[in-house]
């Protein structure tokens, strides 16, 4: 079992844990710059609303890129006003990390290897220790040290071994400073490499692992890659928190992550949506109904299966295991529970059902 790392718990921020016997968590990353937040109340309000919506559908952690002091200022404002644990993603400049730690961030992502002198790492580690804030080491295949790149080029080690070795080197710096509150992530855009490097690491070390396939691609391709990599690792008991990286919205990343965890049996409860693909028998627009209702259903605090089916011919039968379902004829929709029709309504009233 991996070590348990605690994050959050200050101010409004929810306290959560990663690793050990903690439930697996789902993360996403904010997709826009936040630098104008301090002068833009409307934008702050919009971001807080979107964070809240992500939280209601099951997102556990959101990471923000922090490339400059303006972003630090903005993130510190946001982190004081939400219960969502937020992670500051920092490269190169350790001072950004120190400033973020004056706010309410739940974790810092920083690699000792890219913030210069060891003194810089020491300062960040001491500030994290003082504030009870863990660190995530984030390695990806584009940022391996030169000596390992050469070994890979010469075929002495594989890229997966190089990723794992880089993570170990970064982690050793924290271990030398007697700091063990860190999570490791090693990402490649290649599924096999992602699986292998996490296997290598998990075999030797017990630090919690953040799973991700980097630059996974657009919605469908990215979900396929992440599903294969994560399900393989999760079924071997490897992985403590996941992020599905997509060229798509944070909402899609979260929904994809939740579904992967559910299908791997790692997240139970909540609303499960089953819906038919649609065919020529369609009497009800399944696709638009699911689009309109997915987030509202996922936000419900219920352990139920909801079926959305296109026709009355096959709908109630195919969705008979669902606790509640809807199926359409041309101008009517039927509501069924465990396959039994309980109500018939006008199709135009379908949105009033749940
Ligand atoms: Fe087609 Fe009806 Fe099955 Fe949907 S439920 S795929 S509309 S037969």
Say if ligand 1 is within 6 A of residue 278 CB.
yes
Determine the 3-state secondary structure of 194 from DSSP: helix
Q: Radius of gyration (Cα) for the chain, nearest Å?
A: 23
Q: Closest residue (by CA) to atom 3 of ligand 1?
A: 314
pTM: 0.93
Q: How far is the CA of 310 from the centre of ligand 1 (A)?
A: 5
Residue whose tokens read 């309109």: 292
Atom in ligand 1 nearest the alpha carbon of residue 283: 7
Cα–Cα dist 258/260, whole Å: 5
Say if ligand 1 is within 6 A of residue 276 CB.
yes
Q: Phi and psi dihedrals of 177, rounded to 5? A: -90, 10
Tell which one of 309, 328, 333 to mutate to probe ligand 1, the residue whose CB is within 8 A of the most ligand atoms.
Answer: 309
Question: Residue 2 has what DSSP assignment?
Answer: P
Q: How far is the CA of 306 from the centre of ligand 1 (A)?
A: 16
Say if ligand 1 is within 6 A of residue 329 CB.
no
β-partners of residue 56 are none
Determine the 3-state secondary structure of 25 from DSSP: strand
Tell which one of 311, 329, 333 to mutate to probe ligand 1, the residue whose CB is within 8 A of the most ligand atoms.
Answer: 311
Tens digits of pLDDT across the chain (354 residues):
999 999 998 889 999 999 999 999 999 999 999 999 878 889 999 999 999 999 999 999 999 999 999 999 999 999 999 999 999 999 999 999 999 999 999 999 998 878 888 999 999 999 999 999 999 999 988 889 999 999 999 999 999 999 999 999 999 999 999 999 999 999 999 999 999 999 999 999 999 999 999 988 899 999 999 999 999 999 999 999 999 999 999 999 999 999 999 999 999 888 999 999 989 888 888 999 999 999 999 999 899 999 999 988 877 788 788 999 999 888 889 999 988 889 999 988 888 877
Atom in ligand 1 nearest the alpha carbon of residue 277: 6
Say if ligand 1 is within 6 A of residue 321 CB.
no
Output b/e per residue, 134-168; b: 16+ Cβ within 10 A. bbbbbbbbeebeeebeebbeeeeebbbbbbbbbbb
Nearest Cα to Cα of residue 245 among 170, 290, 187: 187
């Amino acid at each position: 079992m991996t070590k348990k790392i605690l994050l959050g718990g200050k101010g409004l921020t929810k306290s959560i844990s990663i690793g050990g016997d903690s439930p697996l968590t789902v993360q996403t990353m904010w997709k826009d710059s936040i630098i104008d937040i301090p002068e833009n109340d409307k934008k702050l309000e919009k971001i807080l609303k979107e964070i809240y919506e992500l939280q209601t559908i099951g997102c556990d952690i959101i990471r923000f890129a922090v490339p400059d002091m303006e972003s630090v200022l903005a993130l510190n404002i946001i982190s004081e006003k939400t219960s969502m644990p937020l992670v500051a993603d920092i490269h190169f400049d350790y001072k950004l990390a120190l400033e973020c730690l004056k706010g309410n961030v739940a974790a810092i992502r920083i690699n000792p290897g890219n913030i210069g002198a060891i003194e810089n790492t020491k300062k960040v580690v001491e500030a994290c220790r003082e504030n009870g804030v863990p660190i995530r080491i984030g390695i990806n295949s584009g940022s391996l040290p030169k000596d390992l790149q050469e070994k890979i080029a010469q075929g002495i080690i594989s890229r997966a071994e190089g990723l794992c070795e880089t993570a170990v080197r970064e982690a050793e710096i924290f271990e030398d400073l007697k700091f063990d509150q860190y999570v490791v992530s090693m990402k490649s855009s290649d599924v096999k490499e992602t699986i292998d490097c996490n296997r290598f690491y998990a075999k030797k070390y017990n630090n919690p692992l953040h799973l991700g396939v980097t630059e996974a691609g657009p919605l469908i391709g990215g979900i396929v890659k992440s599903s294969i990599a994560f399900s393989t690792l999760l079924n071997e008991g490897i992985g403590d928190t996941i992020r599905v990286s997509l060229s798509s919205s944070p909402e899609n990343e979260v929904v994809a992550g939740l579904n992967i965890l559910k299908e791997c049996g790692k997240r139970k409860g909540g609303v499960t949506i089953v819906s038919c693909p649609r065919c020529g028998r369609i009497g009800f627009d399944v696709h638009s109904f699911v689009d309109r209702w997915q987030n509202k259903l996922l936000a419900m605090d219920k352990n139920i299966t909801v079926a959305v089916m296109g026709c009355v011919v096959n709908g109630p039968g195919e969705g008979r295991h669902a606790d509640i379902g809807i199926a359409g004829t041309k101008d009517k929709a039927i509501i069924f529970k465990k396959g039994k029709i309980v109500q018939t309504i006008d199709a135009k009233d379908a949105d009033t059902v749940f």
